[in-house]
Chain A
């Protein structure tokens, strides 16, 4: 018998959309360097131009405001590093005249690690706390902004718990204090409508492989006339803002991916919301002591983060894997460190809830049968793990 395979880890990455794949296969015939003037180069250039226009129009920007990068992480690194350009050789001429970063404690590691390094390069860093749902406080943000202009970097939607911040409101506040705002929208783009002309942010990061596009290609939106300094230098590509011969295949895939998202996003949203409700209800009915992490309303439709006190996350993940279901966990054991997820710890749940958490992230391929299968399999796994656990759902036994 063939085991059922259910992929519910779409926040980690997504499968390639069949039409994206087709488009990329076609693009493989075009090998020219987009910088070349001859016909081979021109063919690649046209392809790239169309993809850029598609990405730009998907987020409501102008094509020239988009640069392609090697990943979402690179785009995030690029934005933050604008502040620390130490060089007099660079034509950014110290693009930004202030040296403060305001970010949140639940950002992706590519933000947090970069900020940590920058703090050793004379950049002042302030981490905003979040409430129990993962939302930042506008009051705390304003207090920090009052201390002087800063580059503010707040993610649109959190990868682990799905909580969505009010970026429009945040942007308005940030601009009142003559500061700049970047948002890491890698998990939000393609799942909720995102328009930079509506949000008015200065920088926005997006990535292709989270929206059924290829890996190794990200993009950064840079609002027109916003100060900028490249992270990768030495080429005129992307208008001198990101050197290196373009990943034409990736870019074409990205363009097709957003095009497909445009068609599928709204119907998928409704469907996933229903699935999520069904999952929640099924799990609550069949398993005692469960706790849902993240904002009850302002949350990505595809994301459900659940804690099962008494059951350790890596064990849950691996028993699910043996049943053919793929999810992820915030447990320390799965990360190779001693600490559980920084996001779950930041929303203030007890440590045993963090160790016993899994993240289910559905996608365009998720079917109702998948949800039924999950609801059928999960209770037995939790029961089994809890039956051999020293920790009871209500607290620690024997001590």
Chain B
């Protein structure tokens, strides 16, 4: 076929899709220091991330994953698993879907929501590590702003999505996955949507 036909996503995404890195192959025997699983079948994707941590330096030494997801989910988690190795837990906690999309050479807007599971699963894994090591105070600190508990979405992320143009509950669901699992946080999300829209775009 015509060579000028680009692949549906970026070349880098394609490369990670063809050769995904760090897939968790021996799940039963893998000795993880932290494990996080997020997502649900309703949206058709789910993500599992496990990490190994150098406890003295608090640096992530290994990161493996599994996902039920589309090409963007596979590629974005593959690239995330490479990015986090060597990062401190605090640094890794700050990774956003935007950072991942950037690393992948961009994602179509309607695909951003496919890549938000990776960083959420990673944070869940880091929280799990904190929990196992008696560092619950770290979690409380980090979870202070969490609005959607199922999908680990913070008020900051909602604000960022609003700044990026999200104007409806559906927009927010698509961009952040907030409210896409149990839906109990819908009222809170709508309140924040209203608040941030007024704050940033109101008269």
In the bound complex, residues from chain B placing their C-beta under 8 Å from that of A232 are: none
Count of residues in B whose CB is under 8 Å from the partner chain: 33
B68 lies within 8 A of chain A by Cβ = yes
- Interface class of chain B by DSSP: mixed
Segment of B41-49, B87-95, B138-146, B150-158 engaged in the interface with chain A: B41-49
Check A391–B68 contact: CB distance below 8 A. Answer: yes
Cross-chain contact B46 with A333 (CB below 8 angstroms): no
Q: Are A5's CB and B1's CB within 8 A?
A: yes
Known: A318-B17, A390-B47. A333 touches B114 (CB 8 A): yes
Does B192 sit within 8 A of A, measured CB to CB?
no
Tell me which residues from 371 to 399 in chain A have a Cβ below 8 Å from any Cβ of chain B: 387-391, 396, 398-399
B71 touches A338 (CB 8 A): no
Name the residue on B nearest A398 (C-beta).
B37
Report B84 CB to chain A, min CB distance, Å. 18
B180 part of interface (Cβ distance < 8 Å)? yes
Q: Are the CB atoms of A391 and B41 closer together than 8 Å?
A: yes
Chain B residues, Cβ within 8 Å of A318: 8, 17, 70-71
Chain A residues within 8 Å of B114, by CB: 333
Contacts of A96 in B (CB 8 A): none
Is A352 a contact of B67 with CB atoms below 8 Å?
A: no
Tally of chain A residues near chain B (CB < 8 A): 27
Whether B110 and A351, one on each chain, are in contact in the complex, defined by CB atoms closer than 8 angstroms, is: no
**B106 at the A interface (CB under 8 A):** no
Contacts of A352 in B (CB 8 A): 41, 44, 68
Question: Which of A159-167, A234-242, A309-317 is near enough to bind chain B?
Answer: A309-317
B-side contacts of A338, CB under 8 Å: 42-44, 113, 173-174, 180
20 A/B residue pairs, CB under 8 Å, sorted by A: A5-B1, A312-B69, A312-B70, A315-B17, A315-B69, A321-B8, A322-B18, A332-B43, A332-B44, A333-B45, A338-B113, A351-B41, A352-B41, A352-B44, A352-B68, A388-B20, A389-B66, A390-B67, A391-B46, A398-B48
Interface residues of B (CB under 8 A from A): 1, 8, 17-18, 20, 23-25, 37, 39, 41-48, 66-74, 110, 113-114, 173-174, 180
